Amino acid sequence: MKVISFNSSDLGGGAGKVAYRLSQRFLEMGHDVSLLVGKKFSDDSWVEQIIPNRLVWILDRLVGRALNFSGFHFLFYPSSLKISFMPILKGADIIHLHNLHGEYLSLWSLLSLKSKAPLIWTLHDMWPVTGHCAAFYECDHWKKKCKNCPFLKAYPEVMWDSSFLQWKVKKHVFERAKPVFVCPSRWLFDLVKSSPMLSNFEIYHIPNGVDLSVFTPIPKETARDVLKINKKHKVLLVSARNGRDERKGGEILKKALPLLKKRYGHNLTLLCLGQGVANSFRDIDGLNICDCGFVQKDLFLAICYAAADLLLFPSLAENFPNTILEAMACGTPSVSFDVGGIREMVAHRKTGYLADYNNLLDFVNGVFELLDDLDLYKGAVQNGLDLVSERFSLAFQHQQYLSLYKKIRKE
């Protein structure tokens, strides 16, 4: 089977990892696979960057920024004109879309892609459901066709309230491209089912999976030896693109860490993943920091997860984050807020701690409970390992998608 996937990048961000790992799995199973991306990080020959050179990239940015200023995001990029003529699409059985926002692919390209092969679109955030937001927090205007948007500055920011017009454009394109939608979380599946934008489309629920041959428990002493972390310390892991992102709970962490530092003193180490994340916390007096930066290799990422006692995940808007699954598969429970599809992974006091939404003190209390109650902690570790093995393996995810590919192909 020939499968062509699209995403904004191959290894950057959660959607990129899902697109890359799933494509890699299909490749290993003998299928003809290509991943077309806006930004390429890997050196794999089956991954191709859509924007061929810097001149075209500059032209795309100029046109894109002009449209963004007018209130219409990701509507058109000159480089997308070549999409329907790309030889790689010839003979495709399935075109699998992931994140389309990211300044690399025109929304209108869905119509030309539809003429090449059936479209399957895995939703990694809420952008396809709303007028403009990728995450809508507690807003319910998406149920009303996004009129009178209260979050104009939410990514992707708009200068004026064009959300209803963008909503209409999306609906127009989607109705003609007729993609089949896949939701990684049951939470998003239920939301999409009730959406006036997408409720009439075919919608499936297939959870993300992790490679259990890579993300697997490693003795903490071994992992900490590699990272040169004190074996007697309480180690808390944070992972983000940056430590200032409000949506990812950056402000919560800034307030929580001094409280945790007060409890555990110099026996506390913060393990930071992500470019520049550690810089956001260096002003916390006396806090030990292990800065691993942006980690591209999964094997090293697994070592980082295994070295930590807990993953701190205070995100305020989420779908089905891979980070929690990966940490859980390595024997590291999470403390997170009850938001999006997180409760499908983090069962309160069973596989981690699920704090009340945006409640700083409850979040901090979750860390205290898991670190100070050894029986509770050991139970969360084992229950998490069992859950990932039973429901969230990459092998299971691959099989689910293969079945869907075959079904869509027959239709």
The pLDDT tens digits for 82-130 are: 887 899 999 999 999 999 988 889 999 999 999 999 999 999 999 999 9
pTM for this one?
Answer: 0.93
Going edge to edge, which strands form the sheet with 180-183? 47-49, 32-39, 2-9, 94-97, 119-122, 180-183, 203-205
Same domain membership, residue 401 and residue 349 = no
- How far, in Å, CA of 403 to CA of 183, rounded? 15
pLDDT of residue 135: 84
Same domain membership, residue 242 and residue 205 = no
Q: What stretches of 207-279 show up as alpha helix (H) in DSSP?
A: 220-227, 250-264
Structurally, the chain folds into a number of domains equal to 2
pLDDT of residue 132: 87
Same domain membership, residue 146 and residue 19 = yes
- Give the three-state DSSP class for 335: strand
Is 286 part of any domain? yes
pLDDT of residue 242: 66
Same domain membership, residue 238 and residue 142 = no
Alpha-carbon Rg of the chain, whole angstroms? 21
Same domain membership, residue 280 and residue 404 = no
Question: What is the domain-level CATH number for residue 363?
Answer: 3.40.50.2000
pLDDT of residue 249: 86
- How far, in Å, CA of 271 to CA of 222, rounded? 15
- Which one-letter DSSP state was computed for residue 90? T
Torsion-angle region of residue 340: left (phi > 0), alpha (psi -120 to 50) or beta? left
Is 215 part of any domain? no
Same domain membership, residue 305 and residue 203 = no
pLDDT of residue 103: 86
Same domain membership, residue 386 and residue 237 = yes
Token readout for 261 is 């530092």
Nearest C-alpha neighbor of 373 from the set 411, 410, 333: 333
Same domain membership, residue 399 and residue 334 = no
pLDDT of residue 229: 97
Distances (CA, A) of 245 to 168, 242, 250, 273: 29, 6, 5, 14
Contact, 160 vs 151, CB < 8 A?
A: no
Contact, 182 vs 168, CB < 8 A?
A: no
Q: Which domain holds residue 146?
A: 2-209+394-410
Same domain membership, residue 406 and residue 341 = no
Q: In degrees, to the nearest 5, what angle opens at C-alpha 18 toward C-alphas 12 and 76? A: 65
Distances (CA, A) of 306 to 6, 254, 263, 336, 398: 31, 24, 23, 18, 25
Is 214 part of any domain? no
Cis amide bond preceding 179, omega within 30: no
Blockwise average pLDDT, block size 10, the chain, 411 residues: 96 90 96 95 93 86 87 88 89 96 91 95 94 84 89 87 94 96 96 94 97 96 97 95 74 95 96 92 93 93 98 94 97 97 97 97 98 98 98 97 94 73
Q: In terms of C-beta density within 10 A (0-12 exposed, 13-18 middle, 19 or more buried), how is residue 245 classed?
A: middle
Q: Which residues pair with 271 in a beta bridge?
A: 237, 290
What does the buried/exposed string (b/e) look like for 138-177 if buried means 16 or more CB atoms within 10 Å of the residue's CB?
ebebbeebbeebebeebebebeebbbbebbebbeebbeeb
Same domain membership, residue 238 and residue 139 = no
